Structure 1
């Protein structure tokens, strides 16, 4: 009897965990024009409520090799998101600015918009639906 209960428990937990992953997707991001391998690349996945306000829903730091990174945001639920990326060249975990508030480190966003001013969610947003996504971000 005990082994039957354990078997059903195992089957139920396996099926339940598999069904949770079924509704999520992965987003693979490639950046291949990073000017040096110094520091790290930091990428953050945001929804409209977190964009330019707080930490992302998911945050990834990556070492840079030959000016390139490939990272994957895993288990992303369907919805509308934007990705922000920066080259944290001095590895201080923040964007550095000049005295006139211009960024001193390279950055980019999903959709690669050209911004004259602060980044906007509507320029970088994309939808996650029922398939994995691949995208390139340029600095």
Structure 2
């Protein structure tokens, strides 16, 4: 009887914890540096799934763009449920909301990702850039790269 009651209490706590987690919303502050100059704007997009990461606009759950006045640039995304997210950022020099590329498909503007994974021949996978939002205020840094 004691074991059953203890198990029931434990399961009840797990149910309470997972329902509390499901209702949790926090903020994610993204600090971006590594700019070549202050021309144009910087944009950051948040993804919560691997599908579409990092460049499908239809899969972005939140996006912000802002003029570059001070470096590093800080963007704060509010009201995010606890979970796993990946962030893609770009230095949008000509303010066309696209990561421009040359004729070979190489980016001509700066770009970066959460967790700053090494980028070789293609963009990182969601799992290589994914961070966990588990508290009320999470901060990450992204260092832009230029090719």
TM-score by length of 1: 0.79
Tell me which moved more, 67-76 or 86-95: 67-76
Is residue 58 from structure 1 mapped to residue 58 from structure 2 by the alignment?
Answer: no
Shift >2 Å, 4+ stretches: 52-55
- Per the alignment, residue 25 of structure 1 pairs with 26
Pairing of 1:39-118 with structure 2 (within 5 A):
39-48=40-49, 49-52=51-54, 53-55=56-58, 56-116=60-120, 117-118=122-123
Residue number in structure 2 paired with 1:127:
132
Partner SS for 1:122 = helix
Distance in 2 of aligned mates of 1:66 and 1:26: 21
Shift of 1:54: 3.2
Does structure 2 retain, via aligned residues, the 8 Å contact 1:24–1:75?
Answer: yes
What whole-Å deviation, never above 9, does each CA across 1:5-58 have from its counterpart, x for those lacking one? Answer: xxxxxxxxxxxxxxxxx7201001111321111110000010113423334100
In structure 2, list runs of 5 or more residues that go unmatched: 1-22
3-state SS, counterpart of residue 128 of structure 2: helix
Corresponding residue pairs, total: 119
Give, in whole Å, the separation in 2 of the partners of 1:70 and 1:25: 16
Aligned Cα RMSD in Å? 1.7
Cα shift at 1:122: 1.0
Tell me if structure 2 keeps the 8 A contact 1:50–1:57: no
| Distance in structure 2 (CA, Å) of the matches to 1:118 and 1:80 | 18
Asked whether the equivalents of residues 35 and 67 of structure 1 are also in contact (C-alpha less than 8 Å), the reply is no
